[in-house]
Amino acid sequence: MLNYEDARALVFEHVVPLEKGQRPLTESQGLALSEDILAPHGMPLFDNSAVDGYAVQAADLADASRENPVRLKKLGYISAGDSGEDSICSGQCVQIATGAPLPPGADAAVMKEDIELEESHVRFFQSIPKTENVRFQGEDIPEGRIVIPAGTVIGPAQMAVLATFGFAKVPVRRVPKVSIVSTGSELVDVEEKPQAGQTRESNRYMLAGMVKQESCELLKMSMVPDVPEILKQEFEAALQADVLLVSGGMSVGDKDYAKPVLKEMGVEEIFWKIKFKPGKPLFFGRRGKTLVFGLPGNPASSYVLFEEFVRPALRQMMGRRILEESMVKAILEESITKTYKRMHFMRGQLHEKNGKFRVRPLKFQGSHSIGSLVESNALIRVEANSPVLPKGSQVSVRPLLNEIG
């Protein structure tokens, strides 16, 4: 049986990043840039004033003071959007708006609050260093700099930079199309009332939510009973996706048909079963370009396996640089007395106190625990065959995108 590291390495080895293309800027949030973004010009675009005030030659104000104000002749007003081509000479100043181009000859700007107006002159009461209140062309982003590296996911900050540089279309990779098939004859849909022995299906909604967090496209979602012919029919359509997530039927039960049916349909098994808790029966396979993850039906197993195997694989397909949330070191608030021969990713509650992360493992770690999903915001990594971990030990923790009460 593969361990966690080797199984993850095998998944990453089989992922092929999807094709590069172009998308309108307005539709690019959540996608990953397929190319480095080089600044086609510097920012700011031109030297401009950082204040509403007066553009001056700093040398003119060298001797200005409260007692001996300097008077400069006022020329006019440069507002934002003006081209600002008229220059000023020594002895002159010009009123200027924030962001308006600094006129030739000027080398500083004085705030409006610091002057007094006369009819045709302006009085200044203090000296000012050259360059004060000037924003220089290219000082923020020089022309040619890699301002966003390839593989970065586009969020609001990246949108701003892309817009600034005129990227109405953005170079990105295609996102994976994902199908989700939940299997189990005991399952009923959300609007139905479970009869004796039945349970409402929840994994489809959970997995779809996780897929959407990654901005991937849902191609098909379905729920099917443990009947090989029906499974076959559903899988055939679902295998048109880039990634197929199957929930349930991956273990060794008499009705666990999902895995044998997938194999019968030409899905090559890359691995099945890992030394990992929760979710030992994880199946990973491939048919053509389609990757197949067979997730055991227990909700917490599916959830944790998605975090550790599926999410990073989706991100790798999208060409993302950062495949997962970095693990953080945290102090255990309660001892972990039970450890296993398998690696255990325990659900826990992470919080920060006095600048340090602290984590409390949930008492109830059942892989069927649906309650644990809304009570945990982190996974605590406990190594295979780990000794007991007393309270106060340092552990590695994966923070999750999940709000808890």
Q: Which residues sit at the interface with ligand AMP, rule CB under 6 A?
A: 182, 184, 186-187, 199, 201-203, 247-251, 253, 296-299, 368
Strands 187-188 vs 243-247: parallel, antiparallel or unpaired: unpaired
Residues in the chain: 405
- Interacting partner of 334 out of Mg ion, ligand AMP, none (Cβ under 5 to 8 A depending on kind): none
Comparing CB distances to ligand AMP, the nearer of 134 and 181 is 181
CB of 14 to ligand AMP, least distance (A): 23
Q: Which stretch binds Mg ion (CB under 5 A): 8-16, 49-57, 149-157, 296-304?
A: 296-304
Q: Is the dihedral of CA 368, 372, 373, 376 positive or negative?
A: negative
Written as one letter, the residue type at 47 is: D
Question: Nearest-CA neighbor of 36 among 14, 20, 15?
Answer: 20
Comparing CB distances to Mg ion, the nearer of 106 and 267 is 267
CB of 367 to ligand AMP, least distance (A): 8
Is the separation of the CB atoms in 177 and 237 below 8 Å? no
Question: Nearest-CA neighbor of 244 among 212, 227, 222, 275?
Answer: 222
Binding of Mg ion by 299 (CB under 5 A): no
- For 2-40, letters b (16+ CB in 10 Å) and e give bebeebbeebeeebebbeeeebebeebebbbbbbebebe
Question: Nearest-CA neighbor of 250 among 262, 258, 238?
Answer: 258
- Interacting partner of 186 out of ligand AMP, Mg ion, none (Cβ under 5 to 8 A depending on kind): ligand AMP
CB of 238 to ligand AMP, least distance (A): 14
CB of 141 to Mg ion, least distance (A): 55
- Interacting partner of 386 out of Mg ion, ligand AMP, none (Cβ under 5 to 8 A depending on kind): none
Fill in the per-residue mask, 227 to 256: x = in contact with Mg ion (CB under 5 A), - = not in contact.
Answer: ---------------------xx-------
Comparing CB distances to ligand AMP, the nearer of 271 and 357 is 271
Residue facing ligand AMP at closest CB distance: 297
Q: Which of 184, 279, 312, 348 binds Mg ion (CB under 5 A)?
A: 184
Neighbour tally for 370: CB within 10 Å:
16
**Whole-angstrom distance, CA of residue 208 vs CA of residue 182:** 11
Enter the DSSP assignment of 274: B
CB of 308 to ligand AMP, least distance (A): 17
| Cα angle 26, 31, 33; round to 5 | 100
**Whole-angstrom distance, CA of residue 172 vs CA of residue 148:** 12
Comparing CB distances to ligand AMP, the nearer of 78 and 231 is 231
Comparing CB distances to Mg ion, the nearer of 151 and 249 is 249
Comparing CB distances to ligand AMP, the nearer of 189 and 352 is 189
- Interacting partner of 247 out of ligand AMP, Mg ion, none (Cβ under 5 to 8 A depending on kind): ligand AMP
Dig out the tokens for 90 from the structure. 């020594």
CB of 241 to ligand AMP, least distance (A): 18
Is the separation of the CB atoms in 244 and 179 below 8 Å? yes
- Interacting partner of 299 out of Mg ion, ligand AMP, none (Cβ under 5 to 8 A depending on kind): ligand AMP
CB of 353 to ligand AMP, least distance (A): 35
Residues that bind Mg ion (CB under 5 A): 184, 248-249, 297
